[in-house]
A = this chain, B = another copy of it.
Amino acid sequence: MATADRTFDLAVVGAGPGGYVAAIRAAQLGMRVAIVERDKLGGVCLNTGCIPTKALLQHAELLHTLKRAEEFGFSFDNFRADFGKAIQRSRRAADRLSKGVEFLMKKHKVPVFAGEGRLAGKGTVEVTGADGKMEGLTAARVLLATGSRPKLIPGVDVDGKRVLTSTEALILEEAPASLVIIGAGAVGVEFADIYAAYGTAVTLVEMLPTILPLEDAEISAVLHRVFEKRGIAIRTKTAVDEVAVGADGVEVGVLQEGKRERLQADAILVAIGRSPNSKVEGLDPLGVEVDRGFITVDDAMQTTAEGIYAIGDVTGQPLLAHAAMHEGIVAVERMAGLPARMDRDKVPSCTYCHPQVASIGLTEAKAQAAGRKVKVGKFPFIASGKAQAMGETEGLVKLLADAETGEIVGVHIVGAGATELIAEAGLAMALEATPEEIAATIHSHPTLSEAVGEAALAALGRAIHI
């Protein structure tokens, strides 16, 4: 490759959702841009994260519904759900999308350099391929989008059989008979849903008082109740203090409010969070500040070193693909002198279990802790005509509005369709809409989205259907 072909306006390190979106936006803005990726295009999200998980959750949802087949008037004999085929379908979805990213890179004429990237000085990225060969790129600007990886329990090795992280849980050949999931954040909860649907006896262990501890407590409580009803064992306020991996299974020592116990399972899934991939070689000499593992950035996503930007998981909360994508766009637009700004307070968050959970903004507890006086409007799906027609009546929409200004402070949803319903709340918060404006918007009948309108009305003291 000629030197000219290795000289760019921008080199993006990491082709996850943040990185590849940034590369596309950069190309749209006329930059010469290259992308470096050591694994598959699409990164964790697309290959070993969101996408295959959501594919498996689609199976889980169908299985939940089929358990109520009689209610729907369906009958059949010898029902079998092949877990391996679910994994295969999820792989096909991931592969199709990874090919899609490849197509997008070609379309936008973004060369892909396969290998591990390191910073070899200001404006120089060295890429070491799997074969050990090294290639050097020069770029006026570098964007680090190196992502994150599952956090591990020190001393407990991931073997893909007894000890899993989300990565291995996505490619098991069959569902284990029993599984202890350590950590009840989005990842833990989604895998609890998937494996329980395939007959695994799941125990969900969480150190904090509620599952999905980042969500509003009232929302988590609904999911907790539904999960327990479905046979998922949940232990909150429970710390894991020992993991003993044997030939036949795993023993997990837990401490629950002073009570010590040992849980047995065929396997454990470690879902205690994610660690940033911030050990990019060469960061330090260039003056890129890293705080507790996360790269420090400003609202243009620039690091403390001029010309070096960072986006996505490697820069810290929220560790969400759509945040990374947006940050990628913001970073590149700012490089191009356009006005753009990342507002991490307005990032929706979704968990695709059943019932689904989605939220944006502050929880009621966080609003109170921040000293904000809020009006709370709630609408339960049991009062929704569409939810009744679907036979999916669990859950509620909870909307918090500032008692003085009317500003929407947060929207929290648990129930069917939550992850799509949050889009309206996202637009409302982005546009600083008031509950009055949501309430005055005509929502189609019968849809689940009416519940968002009714929650807004409820916050104003005038819900119609409760």
Contact = CB atoms under 8 A, between A and B. Distances in A.
Interface of A: 17, 21, 24-25, 28, 45-46, 50-52, 54-55, 57-59, 62, 65-66, 71-86, 88-90, 93, 96-97, 100, 104, 320-323, 325-326, 329, 346-350, 358, 383, 385-386, 388-391, 417, 419-424, 426-428, 430-431, 433, 437-438, 440-450, 452, 462, 464-465
Contact of A388 (B21, B97, B350, B440): B97
**Chain B CB within 10 Å — which of A72, A428, A448 has the most?**
A72
Given A62-B65, A83-B73, A322 B28 contact: no
A448 B322 CA distance: 13
Contacts of A17: 445
Nearest to A430: B441
Contacts of A431: 431, 433, 437, 441
Given A321-B445, A322-B443, A389 B74 contact: no
B388 A93 contact: yes
A76 B73 contact: no
Contacts of A73: 59, 81-86, 88-89
Given A86-B73, A322-B443, A390-B54, A449 B433 contact: no
Given A390-B54, A446-B54, A78 B80 contact: no
Nearest to A54: B389
Given A50-B385, A75-B79, A58 B391 contact: yes
Copies in the complex: 2
A241 to B, nearest CB: 35
Given A347-B442, A426-B441, A426-B442, 17 more contacts: A57-B389, A66-B74, A73-B81, A73-B84, A73-B88, A73-B89, A74-B79, A75-B78, A76-B76, A76-B80, A97-B388, A350-B444, A421-B423, A422-B444, A426-B443, A426-B444, A427-B441
A459 B459 CA distance: 35
A21 B442 CA distance: 13
A187 to B, nearest CB: 15
A21 B391 contact: no
23 contacts: A28-B462, A50-B385, A51-B388, A55-B388, A62-B72, A62-B74, A72-B85, A73-B83, A76-B78, A97-B388, A100-B465, A322-B444, A323-B442, A350-B447, A417-B420, A419-B444, A421-B423, A423-B423, A426-B444, A427-B428, A427-B433, A427-B437, A430-B437
